[in-house]
Structure 1
């Protein structure tokens, strides 16, 4: 898929229906989003959603090194 096609496609939700906030990190254990990111997702534009996905990937990488 070309970068242009990716930007035109809807950005999928990272939710995997494993919704539990971890008190030590403030992140959902399933999707690694903050509560603010979860609340804003439904009304957010695709640029915001892509930025959240980038942050999720960064968080995943950080967790692998712990």
Structure 2
């Protein structure tokens, strides 16, 4: 994925926290990601790791490449 996206192609939502296990974003954040200004995306990405830690989630690693 691009440098301006935290997506790691896991895309599985935690039903309790409503956060993606892969990137830590909510569905509304994912839906409007491409319409956000670069500064807004970068600011959001800065806090994703802390958000997931505070929610008690451990990120799932990226899916292995098929080959």
- Structure 2-normalised TM-score? 0.68
Alignment size in residue pairs? 55
Structure 1 runs (4+) deviating above 3 angstroms are none
Q: Which has the higher strand share?
A: 1
Q: Contact (CA 8 Å) 1:27, 1:34: kept in 2 or not?
A: yes
* Higher helix residue share: 1
Which of the two has higher C-alpha Rg? 1
Name 1:20's counterpart in structure 2. 12
**1:59 aligns to what?**
51
Aligned CA RMSD, in angstroms, stands at 2.0
Of 21, 25, 28, which aligns to 1:29? Answer: 21
**Long gaps (5+) in structure 2:** 58-67
- Which structure has more relative contact order (CA 8 Å, sep 6+)? It is 2
